Amino acid sequence: MEQYDIIIIGAGPGGLTAGIYAGRQGTKNLIIDRDLAGGIGREVPEMENYPGFESISGLELIEKMKAQAIKNCDLHEMEDVLEITKTDDEYRFTVKTTKDNYQSKTVILATGSSHRHLNAKGEEEFKGKGVSYCATCDGFFFAGRDIIMVGGGNSALQEAIYLNNLGANVTLVHRRDEFRAQKHLQDMIKKEGINTILNATVEEIKGEMLVESVILKDTVTNELKEVPTNGVFISVGYIPHTELATQLGVNLDESGHIITDKDQKTNVEYVYAIGDVCVGLKQWVVACGEGAVAATSAFTDIQ
């Protein structure tokens, strides 16, 4: 089996940063990702708060990070980690994947998260037929058409603006009486004249072959209303991927996120965690900072 000092599981912004820092410390390192590097970060249409870039897409930034990471460590994309087991040897972790087995002295969990679903009637039925979780992937097909954008955080408002700029007729639906997104994004929604419906939830998504309408429920009056639409884009948060953490006995908080200390250490010795899978602010710049800290912590512990 190939042996490494640090294996990083997940090639998002945090995982790639950890790989850069790990390699520059002179250790032998591997990043493994079940998908392409970047994961759902590739879907971000535009960021205006990442230092050094006035505006940049998630895909463009990931490609820059990836190019830098592969100069400092090995990167295996499209390789799923199935199991991590512990031993008493110097290479104390065996990482089993869909393609091979590897040994490592330390493990950094950068497993990220996936889109949370509404669990509304018709959501699964119309996935790919008008229901989408990725504006940059599918928005092009809805230029000039009516879209319901569901959510109230930064991602939802960013995607609503992106879809509006593509020429779609966007209505933003949020279950609370105000948005959670940054004021800058809320101001842009008003400036662009994007329709908003507050205090409403999507109860059902309807249609024949494709999406034709949604049933909205007023959270104050419980009144139901059918709204015609050609598409439903959903951005209502993320579910952390903690299956491997649970295998290793890593502690989670009540929301299912990994608990770490300031050095990104978990309760399991030589296991670290970073990014969206952890407790804390879900931002690229935070994940990158945590990646730098975790790689440095792992290097120090190895020494």
- Digit-coded pLDDT (tens) for 158-174: 999 999 999 999 999 99
Given 80, 89, 100, 137, the catalytic residue: 137
pLDDT of 44: 83
Interval 205-250: pLDDT, tens? 999 999 999 999 999 999 999 999 999 999 998 899 999 999 999 9
pLDDT of 48: 82
Global pTM value: 0.81
Look at 172 and 47; give whichever has higher pLDDT: 172
**In the predicted model, is pLDDT for residue 91 greater than 90?**
yes
The yes-or-no answer on residue 278 being catalytic is: no
The yes-or-no answer on residue 137 being catalytic is: yes
The yes-or-no answer on residue 288 being catalytic is: no
Look at 45 and 226; give whichever has higher pLDDT: 226
Q: Which parts of the chain fold into alpha helices (H)? A: 13-24, 58-69, 135-138, 154-165, 183-192, 243-248, 284-302
**How confident is the prediction for the chain on average, in pLDDT?**
95
Is the Cβ–Cβ distance between 274 and 290 less than 8 Å? yes
Location of structure tokens 């990646």: 291
**In the predicted model, is pLDDT for residue 46 greater than 90?**
no
pLDDT of 280: 85
**In the predicted model, is pLDDT for residue 262 greater than 90?**
yes
Given 138, 146, 218, 301, the catalytic residue: 138
pLDDT of 119: 92
What average pLDDT does the segment 132-143 reach? Answer: 89
CA nearest 188: which of 62, 287, 55? 55
Location of structure tokens 């120090």: 300
Least confident of 30-34, 47-51, 177-181: 47-51
Interval 225-236: pLDDT, tens? 999 999 999 999
What average pLDDT does the segment 134-150 reach? Answer: 92
**In the predicted model, is pLDDT for residue 137 greater than 90?**
no
What average pLDDT does the segment 176-184 reach? Answer: 94
| Residue 53 CA: distances (Å) to CA of 19, 22, 213 | 22, 24, 39
pLDDT of 40: 83
What average pLDDT does the segment 97-121 reach? Answer: 95
Given 35, 134, 146, 218, the catalytic residue: 134
CA nearest 134: which of 209, 232, 61, 50? 232
